[in-house]
Amino acid sequence: MPCLSAQVTTNWLSNVSVSSTVVGQYGGLPYYYPPNATFFLSYRRQFDVFDEVPDQFAGGTNIYLFTVNSQYDAKDSVHLGLIKDNQAWTDPSGTLVVRQMTSTNRSAIVTLCRPEPGPEASFEKCNDFNDNDCDGLIGAGWDERRIQVV
């Protein structure tokens, strides 16, 4: 199977969660309405033979913006980017981080993370076994700071 997919809708956002300037950069409210924005994730492996998919769409996880109100809406999706192993993409509101951890020629491991407000600076947050700030690290930040201070 050359393509695996998933979708995430940012229904936790309000209509003022993202500045009007950024909404405009994504095509305006008809294309990017934060409370109903759907990001479609599609892993497309790289084929060396028999594949005419351009490089910017193959060999990683594609991220598309697709906002519709019903199945009858005729709107195009917007390709926002391609992430490969150890790369991340953050949505315009800063409340969704998509990270491709690793991949094979058949699949990819992708994480979705919603950062908690504020820095991950307390001992408790750095040792709760969660990636509270969505930097891809779990607890390592506290240990690194402590080692540097000592």
Q: What is the mean pLDDT of the chain?
A: 76
CA atoms within 13 A of residue 139's CA, in its CB half-sphere: 5
Q: What is the C-alpha separation between 108 and 95, in angstroms, rounded?
A: 22
Q: Note the pLDDT tens digit of each residue in 7-19.
A: 788 888 888 888 8
pLDDT band at 89 (very low <50, low <70, confident <90, very high): very high
Q: What is the C-alpha separation between 47 and 39, in angstroms, rounded?
A: 25
Q: Is the pLDDT of residue 136 over 70?
A: yes
Q: What is the C-alpha separation between 127 and 136, in angstroms, rounded?
A: 14
Domain locations along the chain? 3-114
Token representation of residue 59: 């060999």
Q: Kindly tell me the number of DSSP H helices and DSSP E strands found in the chain.
A: 3, 7
Sign of the torsion formed by the C-alpha atoms of 60, 129, 118 and 33: positive
Q: What is the pTM of this model?
A: 0.74
The residue to which tokens 């910017």 are assigned? 56
The residue among 106 and 68 whose pLDDT is bigger is: 106
